[in-house]
Amino acid sequence: MELLKNKFKQVFGHQNDPQVYFSPGRVNLIGEHIDYNGGYVFPAAINLGTYGVCAKREDLNFRMFSEQESKLGMIEVSLDTLDYNKNHEWANYVKGVIKYLKEHQFDILFGYDLYIDGNLPTASGLSSSASLEVLIVYIANDIYGLNLSRAEMALIAQSVENDYMGMHCGIMDQLSIACGVKDHALLMNTATLEMKPMTASFEGYVWVIMNTKYPRKTTDSKYNERRHECEMALKKIQTKYTVAYLCDLKPENLPNIKELLNDALLYKRVKHVITEQDRTLRAMEMMQNHDPIGFADLLNQSHESLKTDYEVTGLHLDSLCEAARRHGAIGARVTGAGFGGCAIALVESNQAEHMKQEVKKIYLEKTSLHAEFYSVTFEDGVQEVK
């Protein structure tokens, strides 16, 4: 806390005590690429995240500085200069939130100075962008007295990601970061935003996040293409089925859908979505029954589906998961959008360090990259740090 406040004062020259906030990252245990298809997902807020140190100004200007992006220096904008600017990089997320609030008639009566720091690796699949967006909405809610619910904060952050940043994500990341519950994952219905906190640990096992260090750029990647493919498939399916989302369908519908679509690529995408929804609901039962082996089997099935039917894994993620399973993990899968980023593994506690060392060696030989590993805890959602 004191270190963050001192850095803020050094950067901005303030003498007054600023307020400090923390917004977690998130990891999704299972249920990938179905949050924009109306499915159930199973994310948790984690102890890695983004800190924001903020102090009000007496004018309508905003000054921003990120420790991780210090090469950009201080970025200054006013309430009238909030349009997207690619040279502003990370600061566009902040500007997008302020612009949204202004355009939706929220009272922005003053600007602020903002210092950002954190320990969440960017472009890793742990939702660094959503962590920042939800942080900015939460800060605005606090200092401007907006009286937003946590779900409303998540929806604003998602809207900024979709409409301002051009990344057509679902609601999972923002909602789990806004609403996280310590020591729990959230079984989340992305069609209704209903959430059920569930204990997300198994005795004798730990969750390990494995970072490929192969950065994913989802805005520039095939993420939006996958979403478009799902939308195309849904339109065809709706000519015969009365459904609002792909996740309203069941695995037993797949033979008829294959014939209806008459398109091998679209069928593969739909097959992943429908079977991943089924795996997520079965994973909930495994968690309730304290069955780590059954849960791990679903993790492995999920990765195979994301690899074969949804085609979002690639050499780096596949190599990490395969090596992890050979050296102590009972289950491993990509977490997040894929195309690089992170995987998650369920590992026997007494095998975790051995697994990390062996996987690190194998992965380096295969890819010439140094994987990173994080043993994470599940935490509460975004909050002010007192």
Residues known to be catalytic: 173
Q: How far is CA 249 from CA 134, 243, 259, 280, in A?
A: 31, 8, 15, 14
CB 343 within 8 A of CB 126: no
Encoded tokens for 118: 């954190």
Q: What is the phi/psi pair of residue 115, to 5°? A: -115, 130
Would you say 69 and 153 are in contact if contact means Cβ atoms under 8 Å apart? no
Q: Are 90 and 116 in contact (CB under 8 A)?
A: yes
Helix, strand or coil, per DSSP, at residue 74: coil
CA distances from 267 to 40, 211, 222, 234, 264 (A): 20, 30, 17, 11, 5
The DSSP line for 139-202 is HHHHHHT----HHHHHHHHHHIIIIIS-----SHHHHHHHH--TTEEEEEETTTTEEEEEE---
